[in-house]
């Protein structure tokens, strides 16, 4: 059973589940805290530092990241002190220099009143991530923790850190699931579908074959991903036909089958 606790954000009371990240509570209640590296389904990481809050009571006092701050009874934080604004400004300036091509970062920074950076813009030649990557690590963590594929990771360190496949060679374990692109806060990743092949342009041009729907002929999912899902998926009526269909056709097939069964004409559909 989950314990409910009361937390206070900017002196307003909110209900939270004991131990959940404070940022979660803030987002649920539309309290504005910026963040780039937070994703509810992943473990808190505390990389982007943008979600700073000032703890007044209930935990170690002072500035801390709200994504790694666990809720407890009576926890009280403030989200907009002058000190936080000052730190946030520097952070946004650093992000503007790190990802000069990212409109998302520009918009986000502008929303918090930062329009220019005093740091050198990091425009790199042949950057596979289009000078938009802020190294928040969401794609890396999603690929490792959720998809359990481990295709990409950080390479190098410090100023030269990159994210890519090992040895910058096309990967033979990539599922082609696009989860990295979905989760990327700056949409830095490029993935193209070319008829029956999905090309992960950002990940050393890794190519993944797509599967064709047996009914409508549409390419709907990467082969490897489909295999993996199939191995986990439990077909209720063990109907092998469902296996090679795209989601659309699956829906139609299942509905039709169901109505026929209801009518008592199931044999009709067995063809």
Other residues' Cβ atoms within 10 Å of the Cβ of residue 5: 19
User: What residues contact residue 78 under an 8 Å CB cut-off, 6+ apart?
Assistant: 9, 10, 11, 53, 54, 56, 84
Q: Exposed e or buried b for every residue in 162-194, given b needs 16+ CB within 10 A?
A: bbbbeeeeebeebbbbbbbbebbbbebbebeee
144 contributes a contact to other proteins by CB under 8 A: yes
| Shortest separation between residue 271's beta carbon and other proteins, angstroms | 46
Q: Find the binding residues for other proteins in span 152-211 (CB under 8 A).
A: 152-157, 160-162, 165-168, 171, 173
Distance CA 204, CA 55 (A): 43
| 252 token code pair | 């139609």
106 contributes a contact to other proteins by CB under 8 A: no
| Shortest separation between residue 164's beta carbon and other proteins, angstroms | 9
Closest of 173, 42, 35, 53 to residue 95, by C-alpha:
35
Decide whether 15 or 161 has the Cβ nearer to other proteins. 161
| Shortest separation between residue 177's beta carbon and other proteins, angstroms | 15
Decide whether 75 or 151 has the Cβ nearer to other proteins. 151
| Shortest separation between residue 154's beta carbon and other proteins, angstroms | 5
Decide whether 119 or 154 has the Cβ nearer to other proteins. 154
124 contributes a contact to other proteins by CB under 8 A: no
Binding site for other proteins (CB under 8 A): 144, 149-157, 160-162, 165-168, 171, 173
């Amino acid at each position: 059973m989950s314990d409910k606790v009361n937390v206070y954000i900017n002196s307003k009371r909110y209900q939270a589940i004991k131990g959940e990240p404070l940022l979660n509570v803030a987002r649920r209640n539309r309290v504005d805290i910026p963040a780039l590296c937070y994703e509810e389904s992943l473990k808190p990481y505390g990389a982007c530092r943008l979600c700073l809050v000032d703890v007044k009571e209930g935990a170690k006092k002072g500035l801390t990241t709200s994504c790694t701050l666990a809720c407890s009874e009576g926890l009280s934080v403030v989200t907009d002190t002058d000190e936080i604004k000052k730190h946030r400004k520097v952070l946004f300036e650093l992000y503007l220099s790190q990802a000069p091509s990212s409109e998302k970062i520009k918009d986000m920074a502008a929303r918090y009143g930062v329009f220019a950076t005093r740091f050198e813009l990091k425009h790199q030649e042949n950057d596979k991530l289009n000078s938009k990557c802020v190294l928040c690590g969401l794609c890396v963590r999603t690929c490792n923790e959720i998809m359990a594929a481990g295709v990409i990771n950080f390479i190098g360190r410090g100023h030269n850190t990159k994210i890519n496949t090992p040895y910058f060679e096309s990967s033979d374990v990539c599922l082609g699931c696009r989860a990295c692109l979905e989760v990327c806060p700056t949409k830095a990743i490029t993935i193209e579908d070319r008829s029956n092949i999905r090309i992960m342009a950002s990940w050393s041009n890794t190519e993944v074959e797509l599967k064709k729907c047996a009914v409508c002929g549409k390419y709907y999912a990467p082969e490897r991903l489909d295999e993996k899902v199939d191995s986990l998926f439990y077909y209720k009526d063990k109907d092998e036909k469902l296996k090679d269909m795209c989601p659309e056709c699956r829906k139609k097939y299942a509905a039709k089958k169901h109505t026929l069964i209801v009518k008592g004409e199931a044999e009709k559909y067995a063809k």
